[in-house]
Amino acid sequence: MSIDECQLVDLPRIQDPRGNLTYIEQNRHIPFEIKRVYYLYDVPGGSERGGHAHKELKQLLIAMSGSFDVELDDGSSRKKFHMNRSYSGLLIPQMIWRRIDNFSSGSVCMVLASEIYSESDYFRNYDDFLAAVRNKRNDEAQF
């Protein structure tokens, strides 16, 4: 997976004097079926989350409230996103290392995920992640 495949997705917005509304449909606004939703909240200032990559899981990450930074790394390039809009999702494919920090007070990070929870889907060691990326690229170069 390349860092270029990590993209911000503009979600539909129904603007209304009573308050705005955003909706997300699987396989329409995001290119996968949603199997799980989870969210980070009550994050103390200075905390860092993530520090891992997923082998198969794809996700759309949204700042439902407040803001935070997401740094993505495909094993050769890095990109940083500042998330602060509840109508903008960050699409992260599998095999991308992520670090999330700079959480503002009261921020909520919601994730729509393509897989149910499985610890075996994680690389939690950066060197293991890099080795897997290199193996994959070597395999692909042979064909």
Site string for ligand T46, 99-138 (x = CB under 6 A): -x----------x-----x---------------------
Contacts within 8 Å (CB) and 24+ apart, 39-45: 39/64, 39/108, 39/109, 39/110, 39/111, 40/100, 40/103, 40/108, 40/109, 41/107, 41/108, 41/109, 43/68, 43/103, 43/107, 43/109, 45/103, 45/105
Residue-level length of the chain: 143
Identity of the residue, 70 or 133, whose beta carbon is nearer to ligand T46 in the bound complex: 70
Shortest distance (Å) from residue 105 CB to ligand T46? 17
Q: Is 40 in the site for ligand T46 (CB under 6 A)?
A: yes
Selecting among 29, 52, 54, 82, the annotated active-site residue is 52
User: Pick from 7, 12, 38, 118: which binds ligand T46 (CB under 6 A)?
Assistant: 38
